[in-house]
Amino acid sequence: MDLKDKIIAMALAALIGLVGFNLKETWSMKEEVFKLQQGQIILSKQIKHNTNFVKQKLKQLKKKQNKKVINNEIKKNKKKNKKKNKKKKNNEG
């Protein structure tokens, strides 16, 4: 083997080494991307769950507020009706 063949052999060895290293790095990056995707899926599920929870609590709050408003209106109407009834009784009597 002369010097030219040795240089070509060294270059090929270096090239094969770089390709192997590149494949290893690519594989590890693929694993990291997969882990990130799994984490994103989990986060999406948590966000969806939390969003539904917040929506449910808002509905409950609205119901409570509506009940309070309705009860207040009923009380006001009862007071008005009592006053009307008193005026009718006073006018009749």
- Residue 69 pLDDT > 80, yes or no? yes
Average pLDDT over residues 66-85: 83
Q: What is the dihedral of CA 73, 75, 80, 82, to 10 degrees?
A: 160
pLDDT at position 93, please? 58
Is the model's pTM score more than 0.85? no
Residue 63's identity, in one-letter code, is K
Dihedral (CA of 25, 27, 28, 29) sign: positive
pLDDT at position 14, please? 95
Average pLDDT over residues 49-74: 91
pLDDT tens for residues 1-58? 799 999 999 999 999 999 999 998 998 899 999 999 999 999 999 999 999 999 999 9
